Structure 1
Amino acid sequence: MYKNILIIKMSAIGDVIHALPVAHALKQNWPDCRITWVVERAAYDLLTNNPDIDEIILLDKTKFKSLSGIINHAPEFSRLLKSRRFDLALDLQGLAKSAAVAYLSGAPNRLGYCNMRELSQLVSKPVCGAHKDGHVVERYLDVVRALGCSVDEVVFPIHITSEEQGQAEAIARQAGLDIAQRYVVLAPGTNWPTKCWPTAHFAKLADLLYDVGIIPVIIGGPGDRRLADEIVAGAVIPPVDLTGRTTLKELAFITKRASAFVGGDTGPMHLAVAVGTPVVALFGPTDPRRNGPYGEGHKVLTAPVDCVGCWKRKCGEKGRCMETIDVEKVHKIVTGVIIK
């Protein structure tokens, strides 16, 4: 049994969500262990008020972007980590930056998951378990299993306070949404252009949802403003637009109360899974077997093209595969998920 454990999963939002079951499983097996999590600012809110996490250490990556920044700040950060006296570090990022954190932690035991990159496997020992070719959630949990722990239930612990709930309801009301109504969350943004379903498709879907009495609600970060504007402009009746107006926890609450979620391979999609909302996921360049919505009750539509699952951030001569996912088919599946 390890008593003082460091989890390193710093970004992105979806990746941090995927790793949440690791903290829960460790606490279920070793209730007296202390868990510290190193995370960057973008995903920090996901970890707050989490009963499975004893301490959150924020890594300000802006301090480490240059050689002088590393020289100036790495010693102080290392002293902070070593003062916690970790006996185990779990590098669930598997990149050079997370390997540096694992090394600086001073933990005598360091493990990572299968498919580590950027030489991070030289710092932490990769664990390739029974799910090494499966969903990334299970790949992370294989690390827990390798420690001798059982995983009886996969839990995504996200704790939303009453204050966060109240603020989310107020933001929704200001935008014209009563969360007691039946609504579907639409997430047009992704971190790769090739993973985006066209905004014209989202606009048409929004109109179809309105036709059957379901309110479409656009969500996303400030960087998704252009996409949201295009959807609003393209729809006959403008959807409710919450783009850039919520924190992660407020978004989690609004998504939790939704009847369904529609979007691509993106953090908000995995957030919907974590809070128990049925997902209709749209996939093209990435593999839903690895990155799709985890668990039962979700639907996945993949682009009907030969090059699906190419893992390309930029598309070649064949055009954007996401355009080939039919709006009417998405609408039929969404309404089926809601009505069943």
Structure 2
Amino acid sequence: MTTTVPQARTYASLLAPLSVPADTIERHMHLQAWTTQQDEAAAQTLLAKFGLSPDDRLAIIHATSASKEKSIPLERFVASVQRLHEAGFCCMALGTAHDAETYDRLQQAAMVPIANLCGQSTLRQSLAIMRHATLFLGLDSGPVHLCAAVGVPHIIALYGPINEQQWRPYPYNGHFTPVFNTALDCRPCAPKVCRHNRCRMDLSSQAILSAVDTHLKQLAPAPGQRGACEPVTGITQGMGGREGESVPGSHRDA
């Protein structure tokens, strides 16, 4: 039986012909991300725009991806965003200006405020913002690894066809939970040849919410206040769609 290892370890194995001991490689492997004082100042300015400070309890929501093979229906995030808000978190979205509309729709559906910073920060400014977050919830994509690099203590990553052990953030010493559809024996696979995409399309809201609840239990209660994000105005209804019958999903702490 083949054991799947993090891709970072596979890359590190290329040093073996140089007679570098494996334990030495492991000891020196770590993710890093650099920001400047200017980046930090810009990050605090952006947070203040939504009535936030670095001391507030922040959760980064990442529901978009340039790869459609990693996307899941947006409504699957709704219950978890609501739960995080109830637990005293301010949910935030980082990304490109093109992503902003997605989080506007998510805010309308969840009927809780989301600090939508899409298109308003550079990459390094985004890293400075991430550094102040307590939790990340989102698709298997670059921000998972960026959050690990800056030390976000709780990361929940949603996987479709991609191998969650191979592409997990590594090395990472925080609390990491991959969420994926355990009802299928065909994943991980080659997503570009899949005809049904059930691994991502049927990933249930309950599986994601269960992972969120697990992490919330590991955190101390919030100090009696909800996130101070800009109030939501003009909300009339949610997405209007039902999740339907989903193949049971699950999460596993790793």
Whether 1:141 and 2:19 are equivalent positions in the alignment is: no
The percentage of aligned residue pairs carrying the same residue is: 20
Which of the pair is proportionally richer in helix? 1
Relative distance call for 1:269 and 1:138 in structure 2 (3 A) is same
CA displacement 1:237-256 (0-9 Å, x = unmatched): 22111112111111111112
Which structure has the higher relative contact order (CA within 8 Å, separation 6+)? 2
TM-score by length of 2: 0.74
Paired residues for 1:79-118 under 5 Å: none
The match for 1:334 is 215
- The correspondence for 1:286, drawn from 145, 156, 162, is 162
Q: Does the Cα contact within 8 Å between 1:260 and 1:338 map onto a contact in 2?
A: no
The structure number with the bigger radius of gyration is: 1
Report the equivalent of 1:324: 203
1:291 alignment partner, SS class:
coil
- Aligned residue pairs total 210
Distance 2:193 2:36 in 1: 40
After the TM superposition, which residues 39-50 of structure 1 pair with which residues of structure 2 at under 5 Å, given as runs?
none
Tell me how far apart the structure 1 counterparts of residues 129 and 74 of structure 2 sit (CA, whole Å).
22
User: Aligned in 2, Cα 1:162/1:322: closer, same or farther, shift over 3 Å?
Assistant: farther
Task: Determine the C-alpha separation between the residues in 2 that align with 1:281 and 1:320.
Answer: 14
The partner residue of 1:224 within 99, 109, 134 is 99
Alpha-carbon distance between aligned partners in 2 of 1:234 and 1:161, rounded to the nearest angstrom: 36
Q: Once the 2 structures are TM-superposed, how far is the Cα of residue 274 of structure 1 from its aligned partner?
A: 1.0
- Higher mean Cα deviation, 231-240 or 259-268? 231-240
**C-alpha contact 1:194 1:322 (8 A) present in aligned 2:** no
Match of 1:206 among 73, 81, 84: 81
Give runs of aligned pairs for residues 248-327 of structure 1, distance below 5 A.
248-277=123-152, 278-294=154-170, 295-296=172-173, 297-306=175-184, 307-313=186-192, 316-317=195-196, 319=198, 321-325=200-204, 326=206, 327=208
TM-score of the superposition, structure 1-length normalised?
0.56
Q: Which residue identity lines up with residue 255 of structure 1 in the other structure?
A: M
Report Cα offsets for 1:124-148 as digits up to 9, x if no partner: xxxxxxx995211111111234323
Match of 1:159 in 2: 34
| Contact map agreement 2:177 2:211 (CA 8 A) in 1 | no
C-alpha separation between the residues in 2 aligned to 1:163 and 1:182? 22
Report the 3-state secondary structure (helix = DSSP H, G, I; strand = E; otherwise coil) of the residue aligned with 1:281: strand
CA displacement at 1:269 relative to structure 2: 0.7
Determine if the alignment matches structure 1 residue 215 to structure 2 residue 128: no
Q: 5+ residue gaps in structure 1?
A: 1-130
Gaps of 5+ in 2: 222-254
